[in-house]
Structure 1
């Protein structure tokens, strides 16, 4: 969530940022105008409340003076005035809450401000390639997509999954199921033993305020699954980012404890409400999938360096698996709602003869921290003493999507006879098996 004080002082900058995110100039201008109007109404009412409170306090003192001077008529008039002010304040506090809520609701649907070095563009066609790693293999006439390989092996079953749950679910069996498990374990071991992340087991069901904290609510409610819980509901996490980032909600952290680096391997659940007709074959776009998530909580000075570091940690997974990939900087029109800057890592899929996203690493600044009320105590550079509080900066990234890594391994390590070789890095997790064969 953005700071209304910054918006008040920089309305033109907000309008320009929204237009970079492909808002029309009219929509951007009217949105900024509405925010300023809500803020002005809220501040005017607060000013009136403060004036009334000051008058109540003054009138109360005047009542005492009148009583001491035995001016009972004046005392009664002042008492009546105080009672009227109390009635106003009682109703005024409700109006204050309503004004605060209206402003918060309006701010909650405003996206984050892109950093200056984010490429300006409309969609994925305007993303900018940062680097390319690995050699794209030659595509043979026998090259197949992952679902063709999996079904031929008898270890990937979409029909039975549909009987259980409908479309966009998969049943994995045998060595493919083990290979998916091996990938998740390999990633966790890499990030915890070499990259300094702490493994965390987190709840998969969370409250609305937790989903709000990482900006899934209110804007992306249609992409979430919910279950009834008592008289309310809990949401299934679309990514472990939700639970991991909210570990610091409503806390004030010590500067010396930063950065915090967390990782988790969890199922993720997404309704994919806006993806009708996309990737309907295979397991590229599922309602349920596994992902290793990376989350960092940093101070304000080091968040951009942490973003580069996190991206390199995710890239290292693909390097160890010897999978060709490229890293792209997302343009303003393709970047996520809460991000200030995002790198997508795209792995090469021979079956599709193209690169596909397997990780997205974003720096969010204080955008999520404001929604979570997560702060730290910065140190004074001269004295080394804690001085006031500031919002933490949050980062999140896939390290990486396990299902898509399975697809990439299957397609890049497929053989002409339909078998799949096991990457060297995964063989210890596969009991020494070198190949999945028919």
Structure 2
């Protein structure tokens, strides 16, 4: 009897420990548990709709798009406690981490051979919103003092104890606040494949929630372990599930639970999240085809974040499908070309001048009267399509752009106004 009680106690402690640790990394499971308590039909929706939604996505999904960058403006809502401060520089640093993840910027040399040929470049860029909904320059953060420690229950998204979303149809809203026992969580798109209907939230609750410790070094003793949380949560926001399909209370080794999949064909079946970069971890034996180990390199796992460096190509396809179909009002596009015509629009070319060309240090722009006091976007790309300069300005007669930091080579200048491309010019930089 004593042995039986001890075994039961050990199993209970293992489950409890696993549950608590899981909440620390990502609040998606806690968010699901909250919904399960308030909407008991959640579990049954999942069982009923899972295969149907998976099939629907594969029938509808579009092919990989290689010539377009999707750009998503981000609006931050800061709920500060105990004088914790965040500024634009810290937020831009966090977005740089996010953009490396979505544009294959992390060191993928650690990816093991079975997965090395399937590392996706998602080609989504996130940028801090510079203009508000009226087109005026955003000069200060939207912030509020708050003494709450929030749960994964969306209370931070209401003005009484938090901040309501700012035009979520146009901006990805990110709440930065103090969370209890978790690093972040996010809401998937409404009607996203692989998610039960009970997880679909109204527009004013859509977005990402992050704990302070995931974005500011001085507020965390293990910031390096948490800094990629934003990549993981952005994956949820665009419709990805955890690689193990959220069977988060399953005892490791129970192969009957291998059906708890993420709905993505090119991620291996997995029962439980990875906690470290363990080459030997293989929780599901594949019944058909190659038997791959658990993919701890994936951003949608819980791995130590030095090892989380990739999305797969089908994860990319699903995120782009969800973005262009289910979040179609929130992004704009920038097309990349290896060869761009010297003249884009003869009419507008006479209204804007860019010189000297070739240029060594400073590029001078001149705007005619029709653009004075109008908001215009300036962007410079390399021939590989990488953005090396981006700024939104209110046009004056002249604007000087310093190019001292650019290596010698060919670049492309694009100027836009009112969401229309009005000027494109090839620029030869002579280098420092």
Higher RCO, Cα 8 Å, sep 6+: 1
Q: TM-score range by the shorter chain?
A: under 0.3
Task: Flag the structure with larger Rg.
Answer: 1
TM-score, structure 2 length as denominator? 0.23
Q: Which has the higher helix share?
A: 1
TM-score, structure 1 length as denominator? 0.23
